[in-house]
Structure 1
């Protein structure tokens, strides 16, 4: 299963990307997370449905200090998630 998340709110400058990457790695997911120039955080995740759903649920609140006000979820193309493991990508 592969999904793309766009997370809105106070999600930059609060450790959201690093915390999400830590959660994703603990769940054994592949993919990436990045800040976007519009102030949101974007993540593409791939893995077993239960683990992907767990990270999507975590993303609705994020780490302490984050204030998530919106979450958009769409199907991601597996081709967008190259390689294995989870990493923090450059700003988009």
Structure 2
């Protein structure tokens, strides 16, 4: 199974509503490693690594997280060996 890295920038009202912890729960439940981080511009960056099908499912779920998601920009890359799932 092909391993990939997803970097998703989630825009909208997604800070202060538990979005990072929700994203962490979804990612861990899908067997993914990575992180979720609040950005200074109000977005949340979700980085996840794992099987392509699990990453696609996480990407499908991100718009339904807490708050009001307006947009999810995504970038695909080669994995770098993330372990666990952190929130910042």
What TM-score does the superposition give when structure 1 sets the normalisation length?
A: 0.85
Equivalent positions of 1:46-61 (< 5 A) are: 46-61=49-64
Offset of residue 76 of structure 1: 3.4
- How far apart, in 2, do the equivalents of 1:62 and 1:76 lie? 23
Offset of residue 77 of structure 1: 4.5
- How far apart, in 2, do the equivalents of 1:73 and 1:47 lie? 15
Misfit runs of 4+, over 2 Å: 76-79
Q: Which runs of 5+ in 2 are unaligned?
A: none
* RMSD value, Cα: 1.3
Offset of residue 21 of structure 1: 0.3
Offset of residue 78 of structure 1: 2.4
- How far apart, in 2, do the equivalents of 1:47 and 1:77 lie? 10
Q: Which runs of 5+ in 1 are unaligned?
A: none
More strand by share: 2
- How far apart, in 2, do the equivalents of 1:76 and 1:3 lie? 6
What TM-score does the superposition give when structure 2 sets the normalisation length?
A: 0.88
> Aligned residues, how many?
85
